[in-house]
Amino acid sequence: MRTLLLTLTYVAMLQFIACSSDSNEQDKPSAVKDHAWKAQTDALEKAKAVEQTLMDSAAKERERIDQEGK
């Protein structure tokens, strides 16, 4: 009986330790933590920036064409 109790206590302690988070992760702010899709979200943000640059350029070109047509 005593062996069973010690074994269960040992297993419970291991589970508690395994489930606790690393102290380094707790120190970082949530905005700094990387996530599984960080590369994809970074690429998406970069693509949105490029799209905005292209849209701005197209708007300037249309404005220039309109100015020449008048």
The pTM of the full predicted model, rounded to 2 decimals, is 0.47
Give per-residue pLDDT as tens, 5-58: 888 888 888 888 877 766 665 556 565 567 888 999 999 999 999 999 999 999
pLDDT at 69 exceeding the cut of 90: no
41: Cβ contacts below 8 Å, ≥ 6 apart? 35
Higher pLDDT, 40 or 70: 40
pLDDT recorded at residue 49: 96
pLDDT recorded at residue 31: 59
Q: What is the DSSP annotation of the chain?
A: -HHHHHHHHHHHHHHHHHHSPPHHHHHS-TTT---TTHHHHHHHHHHHHHHHHHHHHHHHHHHHHHHHH-
